[in-house]
Amino acid sequence: MCVCRLLQIVAAHVTAVTQFHPSTPRKRQIFVRACVKLLLSCGSRYKVLLTKREPSFRGAVHRLLIDTETVVLASMLATISVHSNLNA
């Protein structure tokens, strides 16, 4: 779990980021793709476990969607804020 959190921070896939590097959107996209591939890979490999723990798998997918939505919205608000400060 710590490795996943480290990758999330490196990809700037957190809401606490206030400044963005031009490569940040690409890093975030790669992070989300990797998480989705990991979930799909684990789901197809451990089908028996998945049937027993379906709520946990659904929760993991739901958390990924919520995290992604939160980060995207925070990024949009920060970008709008920067642009409005530049235009003022």
Span 42-82, pLDDT tens digits: 888 888 878 888 888 888 888 888 888 887 777 766 555 55
Q: Is 56 exposed, middle or buried (0-12, 13-18, 19+ CB in 10 A)?
A: exposed
Q: Closest Cα partner for 58 from 39, 32, 34?
A: 39
List C-alpha distances in Å: 66 to 15, 25, 74, 87: 12, 17, 12, 32
Model pLDDT, residue 1 = 58
Q: Closest Cα partner for 72 from 14, 27, 18?
A: 14
Would you kindly state where each structural domain of the chain is located, as residue ranges?
2-13+24-87
Asked if 39 and 61 count as a contact pair (C-beta separation under 8 A), the reply is yes
